[in-house]
Every structure is written in C-alpha cells, then in structure tokens.
Amino acid sequence: MPHTLGVRPGSTFHERAHGDNTTTVDPAPTPVSRSSRHRFDRDEPTPPSTDAQS
C-alpha cells in the first residue's frame, strides 16, 4: 500500500484497516450546520413576478 498511495497515506490506511486508529474523539462535536430565525415586524408582500408572460 505505501507504494501505491505514498508512505504516510499508505501507512495510515494500513494501520486503520487493522483497527489501529489513535485519533482522539471529541465527545461534544461542533454541529455541522447552524440556523437562525428572523421575524419581520409586518407581513412582507411577495414581489411581482418578473417573468414575461405571452
């Protein structure tokens, strides 16, 4: 494997394939996405369509 992928990636692949993974696990990982809400003071009308109708 080291000849195919290179020394370090090949060694890492070999180690992990044999169950030797020393990566530390974060017990509280950061969320992948975040969201927010915004409330308007009043209803916002839908703007008129800009599509040309025949």
Q: Which residues make Cβ contacts (< 8 Å) with residue 1, sequence separation at least 6? A: 10, 11, 13, 14
What would the pLDDT profile of 1-13 be if each residue is shown by its tens digit?
556 667 788 888 8
Q: What is the pLDDT of residue 36?
A: 78
Does the pLDDT of residue 24 top 80, yes or no? yes
Does the pLDDT of residue 17 top 80, yes or no? yes
Supply the pTM of this predicted model.
0.34
Q: For all residues of the chain together, what is the average pLDDT?
A: 77
| 4 and 10 Cβ atoms separated by less than 8 Å | yes
